[in-house]
Amino acid sequence: MPEASEAERRAVYANLAENLAKLHAVDYEKVGLGDFGKPGNYFDRQIGRWIKQYRGAQTADVPAMEKLIDYLPKHIPDEPSVTIAHGDYRLGNTMFHASEPRMIAVLDWELCTIGHPFADVAYTCMYDLLGVAGSAEPIDRTRTPGVPTEEEFVAEYCRHAGRDGIPNWNFYLAFSMFRLASISQGVYKRGLDGNASSERAKTLGDACRNLAEHAWQIIQRPD
Protein backbone atom coordinates (compact mmCIF):
# COMPACT_ATOMS: atom_id res chain seq x y z
CA MET A 1 0.00 0.00 0.00
CA PRO A 2 2.54 2.61 -1.11
CA GLU A 3 0.08 5.51 -1.03
CA ALA A 4 -1.36 4.70 2.41
CA SER A 5 -0.54 6.48 5.65
CA GLU A 6 0.86 4.72 8.70
CA ALA A 7 -2.55 4.89 10.40
CA GLU A 8 -4.29 3.45 7.33
CA ARG A 9 -1.86 0.55 7.07
CA ARG A 10 -2.20 -0.21 10.76
CA ALA A 11 -6.00 -0.16 10.51
CA VAL A 12 -6.05 -2.41 7.43
CA TYR A 13 -3.86 -5.07 9.02
CA ALA A 14 -5.82 -4.89 12.28
CA ASN A 15 -8.99 -5.45 10.25
CA LEU A 16 -7.31 -8.33 8.43
CA ALA A 17 -6.60 -10.03 11.77
CA GLU A 18 -10.03 -9.25 13.20
CA ASN A 19 -11.91 -10.72 10.24
CA LEU A 20 -9.80 -13.87 10.26
CA ALA A 21 -10.75 -14.35 13.91
CA LYS A 22 -14.42 -13.80 12.96
CA LEU A 23 -14.18 -16.44 10.23
CA HIS A 24 -12.71 -18.94 12.68
CA ALA A 25 -15.49 -18.19 15.18
CA VAL A 26 -18.21 -19.30 12.74
CA ASP A 27 -19.96 -22.50 13.87
CA TYR A 28 -19.41 -24.44 10.66
CA GLU A 29 -21.92 -27.14 11.56
CA LYS A 30 -24.63 -24.62 12.39
CA VAL A 31 -24.26 -22.91 9.00
CA GLY A 32 -24.47 -26.20 7.12
CA LEU A 33 -20.79 -26.94 6.51
CA GLY A 34 -20.51 -30.04 8.67
CA ASP A 35 -19.60 -32.14 5.65
CA PHE A 36 -17.34 -29.53 4.04
CA GLY A 37 -14.17 -31.30 5.20
CA LYS A 38 -12.86 -33.86 7.66
CA PRO A 39 -12.62 -32.42 11.20
CA GLY A 40 -9.47 -33.22 13.15
CA ASN A 41 -6.01 -34.47 12.15
CA TYR A 42 -5.71 -31.54 9.78
CA PHE A 43 -1.93 -31.20 9.87
CA ASP A 44 -1.34 -34.92 9.64
CA ARG A 45 -3.46 -35.09 6.49
CA GLN A 46 -2.07 -31.90 5.01
CA ILE A 47 1.56 -32.84 5.56
CA GLY A 48 0.96 -36.22 3.92
CA ARG A 49 -0.80 -34.56 1.00
CA TRP A 50 1.95 -32.02 0.34
CA ILE A 51 4.73 -34.59 0.71
CA LYS A 52 3.00 -36.65 -1.98
CA GLN A 53 2.54 -33.54 -4.12
CA TYR A 54 6.21 -32.63 -3.77
CA ARG A 55 7.44 -36.13 -4.60
CA GLY A 56 5.27 -36.18 -7.71
CA ALA A 57 6.74 -32.88 -8.94
CA GLN A 58 10.31 -33.08 -7.62
CA THR A 59 12.96 -32.01 -10.11
CA ALA A 60 16.03 -31.64 -7.87
CA ASP A 61 17.38 -32.56 -4.46
CA VAL A 62 16.39 -29.93 -1.87
CA PRO A 63 18.00 -30.81 1.48
CA ALA A 64 15.78 -28.45 3.48
CA MET A 65 12.66 -30.12 2.08
CA GLU A 66 13.98 -33.51 3.16
CA LYS A 67 14.56 -32.18 6.67
CA LEU A 68 11.02 -30.79 6.81
CA ILE A 69 9.53 -34.02 5.46
CA ASP A 70 11.23 -35.84 8.33
CA TYR A 71 10.55 -33.22 11.03
CA LEU A 72 6.99 -31.99 10.51
CA PRO A 73 5.05 -35.27 10.88
CA LYS A 74 6.87 -35.99 14.14
CA HIS A 75 6.19 -32.60 15.76
CA ILE A 76 2.51 -31.86 15.13
CA PRO A 77 1.26 -29.97 18.20
CA ASP A 78 -1.54 -31.48 20.26
CA GLU A 79 -3.95 -28.61 19.58
CA PRO A 80 -7.52 -29.75 18.87
CA SER A 81 -9.10 -26.61 17.36
CA VAL A 82 -11.29 -27.21 14.32
CA THR A 83 -12.69 -24.31 12.28
CA ILE A 84 -13.34 -23.14 8.78
CA ALA A 85 -9.89 -22.63 7.25
CA HIS A 86 -9.70 -20.32 4.25
CA GLY A 87 -6.41 -21.76 3.00
CA ASP A 88 -5.18 -18.65 1.17
CA TYR A 89 -6.06 -15.80 3.54
CA ARG A 90 -3.90 -12.79 2.74
CA LEU A 91 -4.28 -9.13 1.92
CA GLY A 92 -4.28 -9.81 -1.83
CA ASN A 93 -7.35 -12.02 -1.46
CA THR A 94 -9.48 -9.42 0.29
CA MET A 95 -11.39 -6.34 -0.84
CA PHE A 96 -11.45 -3.13 1.19
CA HIS A 97 -13.80 -0.17 1.10
CA ALA A 98 -12.76 2.50 -1.39
CA SER A 99 -12.36 5.25 1.21
CA GLU A 100 -12.16 3.43 4.56
CA PRO A 101 -9.69 0.86 5.94
CA ARG A 102 -12.59 -1.60 6.29
CA MET A 103 -12.76 -5.03 4.68
CA ILE A 104 -15.89 -5.66 2.63
CA ALA A 105 -15.11 -9.07 1.09
CA VAL A 106 -12.85 -12.11 1.31
CA LEU A 107 -12.06 -13.65 -2.07
CA ASP A 108 -10.59 -16.85 -3.55
CA TRP A 109 -12.04 -19.68 -1.47
CA GLU A 110 -10.59 -22.41 -3.68
CA LEU A 111 -8.52 -23.99 -0.89
CA CYS A 112 -11.11 -23.55 1.85
CA THR A 113 -11.96 -26.56 4.04
CA ILE A 114 -12.67 -27.57 7.61
CA GLY A 115 -9.23 -27.33 9.14
CA HIS A 116 -7.12 -25.63 11.78
CA PRO A 117 -7.24 -21.88 12.47
CA PHE A 118 -3.51 -21.52 13.14
CA ALA A 119 -2.71 -22.64 9.60
CA ASP A 120 -4.52 -19.53 8.34
CA VAL A 121 -2.83 -17.21 10.83
CA ALA A 122 0.61 -18.53 9.93
CA TYR A 123 -0.06 -18.35 6.19
CA THR A 124 -1.11 -14.70 6.44
CA CYS A 125 2.03 -13.85 8.41
CA MET A 126 4.23 -15.71 5.95
CA TYR A 127 2.67 -14.09 2.91
CA ASP A 128 2.02 -10.52 4.04
CA LEU A 129 4.54 -9.85 6.81
CA LEU A 130 7.70 -11.89 6.25
CA GLY A 131 8.22 -11.31 2.53
CA VAL A 132 9.31 -14.88 1.75
CA ALA A 133 6.46 -16.02 -0.52
CA GLY A 134 7.34 -16.34 -4.19
CA SER A 135 9.45 -13.40 -5.33
CA ALA A 136 8.33 -11.07 -2.53
CA GLU A 137 10.93 -8.77 -1.06
CA PRO A 138 11.47 -8.51 2.71
CA ILE A 139 9.31 -5.74 4.10
CA ASP A 140 11.15 -2.52 4.92
CA ARG A 141 9.06 -1.09 7.76
CA THR A 142 11.03 2.14 7.73
CA ARG A 143 9.49 2.81 4.31
CA THR A 144 6.07 1.32 5.10
CA PRO A 145 5.33 2.27 8.72
CA GLY A 146 2.17 0.75 10.13
CA VAL A 147 2.76 -2.74 8.71
CA PRO A 148 2.78 -4.92 11.84
CA THR A 149 5.46 -7.37 12.79
CA GLU A 150 4.68 -11.06 12.89
CA GLU A 151 4.33 -10.86 16.67
CA GLU A 152 1.99 -7.86 16.50
CA PHE A 153 -0.30 -9.52 13.96
CA VAL A 154 -0.53 -12.72 16.01
CA ALA A 155 -1.31 -10.69 19.13
CA GLU A 156 -4.05 -8.80 17.29
CA TYR A 157 -5.58 -12.03 16.04
CA CYS A 158 -5.44 -13.59 19.50
CA ARG A 159 -7.10 -10.54 21.03
CA HIS A 160 -10.10 -10.96 18.75
CA ALA A 161 -10.08 -14.76 19.01
CA GLY A 162 -9.99 -14.71 22.81
CA ARG A 163 -6.67 -16.56 22.99
CA ASP A 164 -3.65 -15.89 25.18
CA GLY A 165 -1.22 -16.77 22.40
CA ILE A 166 -0.24 -19.53 19.98
CA PRO A 167 2.13 -22.12 21.49
CA ASN A 168 4.41 -23.95 19.04
CA TRP A 169 4.12 -21.02 16.65
CA ASN A 170 7.28 -21.97 14.75
CA PHE A 171 5.68 -25.26 13.67
CA TYR A 172 2.66 -23.54 12.13
CA LEU A 173 4.79 -21.00 10.30
CA ALA A 174 7.18 -23.64 8.99
CA PHE A 175 4.25 -25.79 7.88
CA SER A 176 2.84 -22.88 5.86
CA MET A 177 6.18 -22.38 4.13
CA PHE A 178 6.50 -26.11 3.47
CA ARG A 179 3.00 -26.20 1.98
CA LEU A 180 3.71 -23.26 -0.32
CA ALA A 181 7.06 -24.78 -1.25
CA SER A 182 5.28 -27.93 -2.40
CA ILE A 183 2.66 -25.92 -4.30
CA SER A 184 5.40 -23.86 -5.98
CA GLN A 185 7.26 -26.99 -7.03
CA GLY A 186 4.10 -28.37 -8.55
CA VAL A 187 3.50 -25.19 -10.55
CA TYR A 188 7.14 -25.17 -11.69
CA LYS A 189 6.95 -28.80 -12.84
CA ARG A 190 3.76 -28.12 -14.80
CA GLY A 191 5.57 -25.20 -16.42
CA LEU A 192 8.45 -27.44 -17.48
CA ASP A 193 5.97 -29.97 -18.85
CA GLY A 194 4.10 -27.30 -20.77
CA ASN A 195 0.92 -27.76 -18.75
CA ALA A 196 0.87 -24.52 -16.73
CA SER A 197 -1.68 -21.79 -17.30
CA SER A 198 0.99 -19.08 -17.12
CA GLU A 199 4.50 -18.67 -18.48
CA ARG A 200 5.46 -17.39 -15.03
CA ALA A 201 5.44 -21.01 -13.83
CA LYS A 202 8.86 -21.58 -15.39
CA THR A 203 10.36 -18.82 -13.22
CA LEU A 204 9.54 -20.60 -9.95
CA GLY A 205 12.54 -22.91 -10.03
CA ASP A 206 14.07 -21.43 -6.87
CA ALA A 207 10.82 -20.84 -4.97
CA CYS A 208 10.62 -24.30 -3.43
CA ARG A 209 14.23 -24.24 -2.23
CA ASN A 210 13.99 -20.71 -0.84
CA LEU A 211 10.76 -21.41 1.06
CA ALA A 212 12.07 -24.70 2.43
CA GLU A 213 15.26 -23.07 3.66
CA HIS A 214 13.26 -20.29 5.35
CA ALA A 215 11.02 -22.91 6.96
CA TRP A 216 13.98 -24.84 8.34
CA GLN A 217 15.42 -21.63 9.77
CA ILE A 218 12.08 -20.98 11.47
CA ILE A 219 12.09 -24.47 13.01
CA GLN A 220 15.48 -23.81 14.57
CA ARG A 221 14.72 -20.43 16.16
CA PRO A 222 13.56 -20.16 19.79
CA ASP A 223 9.79 -20.63 20.07
Sign of CA dihedral 178, 180, 183, 185: negative
- DSSP annotation of 131 reads -
> For 15-37, what is each residue's pLDDT tens digit?
999 999 999 999 999 999 999 98
CATH code, residues 6-220:
3.90.1200.10
For residues 138 and 72, the model is more confident at: 72
Instruction: Measure the CA dihedral 147/151/157/163, to 10°.
Output: -170
Domain boundaries, the chain: 6-220
Helix, strand or coil for residue 199?
helix
Averaged pLDDT for residues 3-26: 96
Are 197 and 124 a contacting pair, CB within 8 Å?
Answer: no
Helix, strand or coil for residue 90?
coil
Instruction: Record the pTM.
Output: 0.92
